[in-house]
Amino acid sequence: MTFQWTAVATFLYGEIGVILVLCLPFISPLRWQKIFMIPLWSKMAVFWNKMFLTIIVLLIVLFLDAVREVRKYSAVHVNEKAANVNTNAFDHIQMKLFRSQRNLYLSGFSLFLWLVLRRTVTLLTQLAKGMASHAALETQVNDATEAAKKYMAENERLQEALSEKGSSKKKESAEATDEKLKKEVEHLKAELQTTSDALHKANNEVTAVKKQSEGLKREYDHLMKEYERLQGSLNEAEDKKDQ
Q: How far apart are CA 69 and CA 101, in angstroms?
A: 8
In a domain, residue 20? The reply is yes
* Residue 86 confidence (pLDDT): 59
- Shared domain for 34 and 137, answered yes or no, is yes
CB 78 within 8 A of CB 47: no
Residue 154 placed within a domain? yes
Tell me how many domains the chain contains. Answer: 2
Residues 152 and 218 in one domain: no
Considering the domain architecture, whether residues 104 and 21 belong to the same structural domain is answered as: yes
Question: What is the C-alpha separation between 102 and 99, in angstroms, rounded?
Answer: 5
- Residues 91 and 204 grouped into a single domain: no
Q: Are residues 16 and 117 in the same domain?
A: yes
Residue 81 domain-assigned (yes or no):
yes
For 24-64, write each residue's pLDDT tens digit. Answer: 888 787 777 777 776 766 677 667 778 888 888 999 999 99
Q: Which of 236, 240, 222 is nearest to 109 (CA)?
A: 222
Residue 186 lies in a domain: no
Among the three residues 136, 158, 180, which one is the final residue of a domain in this structure? 158
Residue-range definition of the domain harbouring residue 236: 191-242
Do residues 215 and 110 both lie within one domain?
no
Are 199 and 150 contained in the same domain? no
Percent of the chain whose pLDDT exceeds 70: 81
Domain boundary among 117, 135, 158: 158
CA–CA dist 93, 98 (Å, integer)? 9
pLDDT of residue 170: 56
**105 plus 146 within the same structural domain:** yes
Whether 64 is in a domain gets the answer: yes
The predicted pLDDT at position 109 comes to: 92
Instruction: Please identify every stretch of the chain with a pLDDT value under 50, giving residue numbers as ranges.
Output: none
Same domain? 11 vs 91: yes
Residue 238 has what pLDDT?
65
Residue 181, in any domain of the structure = no
Identify whether the C-beta of residue 32 lies closer than 8 Å to the C-beta of residue 128. yes
Given this model, what pLDDT does residue 90 score?
Answer: 66
**Domain-embedded: residue 77:** yes
